[in-house]
Every structure is written in C-alpha cells, then in structure tokens.
Structure 1
Amino acid sequence: MKPNYRFLMIIVLLVLCASCIYAQEVAPFKGSFEACKAQAQKENKLILIDLYFVGCMPCAEMDEKVFPDPAVAKEIASNYIVFKTDVMKEMDGKKLARKYGASGFPTFVLLNAQGKALLTEAGYFGADRFVSLLQKGKALEKQRKYLAFDTNLDHAYPGAYSERFIKTGEQHDFAELESYLAQQKDLTSETAFLANTVTNFPIYTNWIYDHLPQMIDLYGGSLLLNKVNAIAKVKSKQFGSLQQADSLRQLLSYIRPVYNERMWSVFLPIMVTSYYEQSKDAASYLQLMDEYDLYPNWDLRSNALGQVIFSQKQQPAILKSILKEFLEQQKKGALDIPDQYKLVALYLYLQDFAQAQKAMDVLLKSDFSDPYLATKKADIEQLKQAIAGKNTQNIQVKDIKKNIPVRLG
C-alpha cells in the first residue's frame, strides 16, 4: 500500500498550526491591569501576573525557554491571560509588586478573573514545573480556595514598606516598621503581614513562626521563605549542639509546607548540614541523609561526604561505612579526581597504607589539566609523603568538591 503523502502533510500542517496558535496566544495582554481583569472576566480565564524587570536573568530565561514551550503555551492559551509588567518602570508593576510583597524575580501571581489571589511564587521555573504551577492555580480556582489578599492596590501601606516598591524620594528608617507593627491589633491583616515580611525584628519573626500554619493558609508559603529560613538555620544549629535529632525532624515537618519541591531540595540539605556541623554526630547525619534522600545522585552525595571524612578521621567505623560507598562507585567505573582523592584519604585515615598507595598511584595518573579542577598535582604531594611515611598526624587534607552545574529550575 502506498503511503498517503497528502494525508500525512495535512496532519503535519495541522500540528504546526496548533503550535503557532499556542505561540501566539502566550503573548502578554496589552493594556492596564484593570483592563486585563475585564478581559479575563469576558473570556472566563484566570490571570497570570509576571512581575519582572529588565536585566533580571531568570526573567529573561523564562521568556526565552519556558513561555515558548508547547506544553506551557497550551496551558496558558487554554486557561490564562498573561499580564506581564515591569516593576521598575510601570506603575501597575510597582503597585502589584507592593501588593504581593515581591522579593524575588520573576514573581508570579495567579488570580481568578475577579482578582482573587490563588497563589504566589518567585524564581525560575522549568517548563514541567511551570505547567504544574499553572495547573495548581486552576485546581485552586475550582475549589474556590483563595489567599487572604484583597483586590485593593492602594492600601495605606507604611512608608518604609511602600518605598521599597514605589520610590517617592522620601526617607524612611526601617525602624519605623517596628513601631508600626507594635500598633497593629491584628498581625494577620494584609498590610501588617506584608510589613512583617521585610523586617527581621525577632519578636515579629518569632510571631510568624509560632503562627506558621495559619499564615501559610492565609498568604501561602512563598513570602514566608526568608523568615523561615533564618529561623530554621538558628534552630538547626541549636538542635545540633544538643544532639537533638528528633527535634530537628519536628522542625522540618513543621516548616515543610512553606517550601515548594524545588526550594525544599535546596534548603533541606543546608538545614541538615547545619545540624551536623554542630553535632559532629556522623552516624545521625548519614541516617538523615538517607531518611530525607538529601542527595539524589552520587556527585551531590560525594560532595556532602567529604566533610564527614575529614571531620571523622578518628572514627574508623564511620570511615569504613563511607569507604564501602566509594568502593561501590568504583565497581561502576573509574572514579573521578575528587572521588579518587577521597578514597586515598579514607585508606590513609584507616591506616591501610598499602591500599592508600595503590589509590594514590591511580590518582597520580589522572589528568589535572582541567582549569576548573579544585586540586592540582602539587596539592597531593603532602598526602603522598604521608603514605610513604605512614603518618596520619597533622595531615592537611582538602575537602575537594566536584563542580556541579547549578540547575535553575
């Protein structure tokens, strides 16, 4: 049977046309924010506010790589009107940034057609995550589940807060916000909450923490991120110094709803590492690594294990458990320079000098020409001498990290 080329060509053209339609539909709304809301009501669509500024790299990456993505374009074309506004140059942008406390860019605010807030998020989102975000907004609208923000862009905001977003030339000391908050009868009100998000007064930061579930329910987690990170950093260290791993677990469970998946994957390892740096309890740290799946690939885990190797050099049981992991990786293929270096250090600290020398021989054959490599041949000379002299005292061994590209989103 001969292929029906005409039929195939029609199918291809239809697919291409559909792609073109979605690409065209993703174009931002032209006009004021009020006009955008009117259009959204007319089309019965949600509103995606994209707060950006010229020179914002993640904003440009979103425009170049994410919004044109077919899956993103399709989701937007079907359900959203995009209102894109510059927070530095446009009054709508300035007012919306103030309204929703934009502290990172791009900031995305999802509203229903009447302007009721569904969610806010900040930062770069890859296409898959952005589609999920858009679908979440759609689901929240279906549930009629809204944040506590009203639709008024012109509240009587305290001057020290408002000046961050709309420059008038007036001078405001941030200390003004402390007295402002002290005068508020209801710290859950929109303006009081927003003023609190940009301060670091301990009494009001602690108030947020003590009322965290309520504040997440009212305003979402995104605006709470900075405050919660600051508190979690302090508490993680405190629990570490007291070796209270269960208290750390309770903390992590309590604050988890503040974070989206991406932010949790970034900050969770930092909190657990802060705990370990104070506790020096390697067994507990390794358990937490596995319990929370802190490092989903070997390169990340190897980087984390480095500090354990060098801080636990007098603990053979810990070193042997880590050695097993490196030997398992070795079975999969030749180790890279950072891993081979750590393998040498493990054998040296375990006083297995014969294996340390074998591992060193392999390391010395490595190519050290990579300009981004954290160590050079000269850096391992002392290690080589320590093996030859069977000396494990006063050895300056480096915690060499692998160069892992930063993933935006």
Structure 2
Amino acid sequence: MKRFFKIASAVLLLASSSIALNAQTNPADESWELAKKQAQKEKKLIFVDLYFTGCMPCAQMDKEVFPDPKVAAVLSKDFVTFKSDILKEEIGKKLCMKYGVTGFPTFLFMNADGKVIDIAGGFQNVEQFTALLQNAKDAAKKGIFKKYSPQINEKEYPDFYVQAYMANKRNVPFDVIDTYLKSKDATDEVSFVIVTGLRVGKQYDDSFLFSSKKFAQDYGRWNVTTHVFGILQRKKKEFEKKNDLKGFQELVNDSKELYTPEEFTKYSGILLKDFGVEKVVTNPYTLQK
C-alpha cells in the first residue's frame, strides 16, 4: 500500500518524496515526528494503523481493504499514513499506551498536530473504512477533536501503567491501580486509559457505565464500547444469579446509543444468548473409552 511508514523496518518511505531513509538511522520516535512534519507540510491528516504480525484481521485489512482503489485514493490524497507493529516497535507500544489500546488492528485518525479526531478498530470492509476516512475529514474541517493531549509524555502516567505497555508487565495488583485512581479525577485522560487499557473491572464498572456516553464523546467510541461489552459480560453473571432477564435486558438497552445499529444487534445478541442456561464443561480426561 502507498505511503505507509513502516517503523523499524528496512526503510522508511516518504510518500511524496524520492528520499528513502534507513530506519536504523532514525529512531522510532523520530520517524513518528517525520510523519507529523510531512502532514504539516502537505496540510494533510494522519492515519495510523497499529497492528502485529499474526493478527488475522490486521492481515485481512492489508489484503482486502488498504489496496482497494477507493481507499487508496482517499489515503493518498488526504492522509499521511503510518504503520507500526506494536510487538516489535517502540513507537507502536507508546501509541498503544497513550490511547489505552487493547484490540487490533486499531486505527488512529489525527491532524498534523497530533490531535485525535477518532479511534476505531477491528476489521472494517471497504465501505465501512471509507466512511471512517470521510467522517475523520469532516470532523477535522469542523475542528472537532477528542480530549486526548496531542503529545506522548510518559511522565504523565504512573509507572505501573508505563510498564504494562512498554515492558508487557500487565499483571498489576488491583490495590495498586485502585490507590492511584482514587487520587485522581475519574474522568481525566490518564484515568480513562488506565481503566480501559488495563481492563479494570467490577469496582469501577458501575461508574464507567454511568459515564460511558460522556467518555465516548470525549475519547471515542472504540475503547468505550469495547470496555462496556466486557462490563456487560460480567453483569450478565450477576443477573443470571437473580434470574432477572428483564433487568439485564434493560441494562443492555441502556448502552444502545453507544453502538451503531449493526453493532448493537450483534453484541446484544451475544449478551442475551443462552441467558440463565447452565454452561456445562466436560473434562475430556473423564470420558470413558
């Protein structure tokens, strides 16, 4: 695909230039800065693809969507594109940390100053992805951006969170997270990405659901809907114990406006399926021959 910056690969290709820079001479952070500088120079937006080798929907995007003429034309005209393998490249890990990314692929839509227009993820077909690009262009023209600060500053985050993303030390004791969150505003950016990025559950579920619509407006639907779905899966067990299908349906419906109609049909179907049906797990080692 044209004009994808491949960080820490053999070369870094600058789309509108014939210059090829050896990535080994350009640290990952410098390569990211080059992408932003190009976007500023060409007055374009930035599209970031966060992926990892072996991710099936990531590979499907590479094969079926990015090369499509309609998609390629929009990206070529209006975006500087930037691609990073989050398991191999430091800048990918930093971007995941910054935005509390947990699923892949994740797509970031930004302006040249690093202000986030939107975040999306998962496999998107050509029509869906083209719509995302158009929506990003429209929002940028209107000056509508998310609340994320434009720069990546590791000092803004507690050490346990930095280590979770940069060193893959994700088994953080809940009391450590809880102590930090209780000392901060629950609605600020760092608190939000800690809760969603580390998938903090149960004790923070109700407050997150209460603020979910505001979070979606401030930080984008992708991280919010992903986390809400996890919360509702946990809540399902509580409602099953009370045999309260009606109550659970009402809770699920409360989150409806967070999702597109297609998404809500899919996820509500998953959540409501087999409500109260005992899940029987057979141990294969106990089966008689």
Q: Tell me whether the two structures share a fold, i.e. TM-score over 0.5.
A: yes
Secondary structure in 2 matching 1:124: coil
Number of the residue aligned with 2:100: 101
Number of the residue aligned with 1:161: 161
Q: Distance in 2 between matches of 1:140 and 1:51?
A: 21
Structure with greater Cα Rg: 1
Corresponding position: 1:152 with 2:151: yes
Question: Once the 2 structures are TM-superposed, how far is the Cα of residue 265 of structure 1 from its aligned partner?
Answer: 3.8
TM-superposition CA deviations, 1:367-389 (whole Å, max 9, x none): xxxxxxxxxxxxxxxxxxxxxxx
Preserved contact between residue 221 and residue 257 of structure 1 (Cα < 8 Å):
no
Question: Once the 2 structures are TM-superposed, how far is the Cα of residue 260 of structure 1 from its aligned partner?
Answer: 4.4
- Please report the TM-score for the alignment, with normalisation by the length of structure 1: 0.56
Question: Once the 2 structures are TM-superposed, how far is the Cα of residue 235 of structure 1 from its aligned partner?
Answer: 4.7
Q: Distance in 1 between matches of 2:170 and 2:236?
A: 40
**1:39-54 superposed matches below 5 A:** 39-54=38-53
Question: Once the 2 structures are TM-superposed, how far is the Cα of residue 262 of structure 1 from its aligned partner?
Answer: 5.2
Q: Distance in 2 between matches of 1:265 and 1:144?
A: 32
Number of the residue aligned with 2:62: 63
Q: Distance in 2 between matches of 1:121 and 1:168?
A: 23
Unaligned 5+ residue runs, structure 1? 1-22, 280-409
Q: Distance in 2 between matches of 1:142 and 1:278?
A: 48
Number of the residue aligned with 2:120: 121
TM-superposition CA deviations, 1:170-215 (whole Å, max 9, x none): 985454111111111x111111111111233423221111111211
Query: Given residue 266 of structure 1, which amino acid in structure 2 is its aligned partner?
Result: K
Secondary structure in 1 matching 2:187: coil
Preserved contact between residue 107 and residue 122 of structure 1 (Cα < 8 Å):
yes
Number of the residue aligned with 2:284: none
TM-superposition CA deviations, 1:70-95 (whole Å, max 9, x none): 11111111211101112122221111
**1:8-407 superposed matches below 5 A:** 26-29=2-5, 30=12, 32-155=31-154, 156-167=156-167, 172-184=172-184, 186-197=185-196, 198-235=198-235, 238=239, 241-244=243-246, 248=249, 250-260=250-260, 263-274=263-274, 277-278=275-276
Q: CA separation of 1:234/1:81 partners in 2, compared to 1, >3 Å: closer, same or farther?
A: same
Secondary structure in 1 matching 2:164: coil
Q: Distance in 2 between matches of 1:242 and 1:149?
A: 39
Identity over aligned residues, as a percent?
Answer: 32
Preserved contact between residue 158 and residue 177 of structure 1 (Cα < 8 Å):
no
Secondary structure in 2 matching 1:203: coil
Preserved contact between residue 178 and residue 201 of structure 1 (Cα < 8 Å):
no
Secondary structure in 2 matching 1:165: helix
Preserved contact between residue 205 and residue 227 of structure 1 (Cα < 8 Å):
no
Q: CA separation of 1:272/1:168 partners in 2, compared to 1, >3 Å: closer, same or farther?
A: closer
Q: CA separation of 1:251/1:115 partners in 2, compared to 1, >3 Å: closer, same or farther?
A: same
Question: Once the 2 structures are TM-superposed, how far is the Cα of residue 101 of structure 1 from its aligned partner?
Answer: 1.2
Q: CA separation of 1:268/1:201 partners in 2, compared to 1, >3 Å: closer, same or farther?
A: closer
Q: Distance in 2 between matches of 1:227 and 1:107?
A: 14
Secondary structure in 1 matching 2:145: coil
Secondary structure in 2 matching 1:47: strand
Preserved contact between residue 114 and residue 151 of structure 2 (Cα < 8 Å):
no
Q: Distance in 1 between matches of 2:74 and 2:148?
A: 25
TM-superposition CA deviations, 1:157-180 (whole Å, max 9, x none): 123322232118798545411111
Give the structure with the higher percent helix: 1
Q: Distance in 2 between matches of 1:27 and 1:159?
A: 35
Preserved contact between residue 110 and residue 118 of structure 1 (Cα < 8 Å):
yes
Preserved contact between residue 95 and residue 153 of structure 1 (Cα < 8 Å):
yes
Give the structure with the higher percent strand: 2
TM-superposition CA deviations, 1:206-263 (whole Å, max 9, x none): 1111111211111112112343113323555638933537x72x43443123334554
Secondary structure in 2 matching 1:148: coil
Q: Distance in 2 between matches of 1:169 and 1:145?
A: 35
Query: Given residue 120 of structure 2, which amino acid in structure 1 is its aligned partner?
Result: E
Higher relative contact order (CA 8 A, sep 6+): 2
Q: Distance in 2 between matches of 1:152 and 1:260?
A: 30
TM-superposition CA deviations, 1:386-406 (whole Å, max 9, x none): xxxxxxxxxxxxxxxxxxxxx
Q: Distance in 2 between matches of 1:76 and 1:149?
A: 23
Moved over 4 A (4+): 168-172, 234-237
Question: Once the 2 structures are TM-superposed, how far is the Cα of residue 27 of structure 1 from its aligned partner?
Answer: 2.5
Preserved contact between residue 220 and residue 258 of structure 1 (Cα < 8 Å):
no
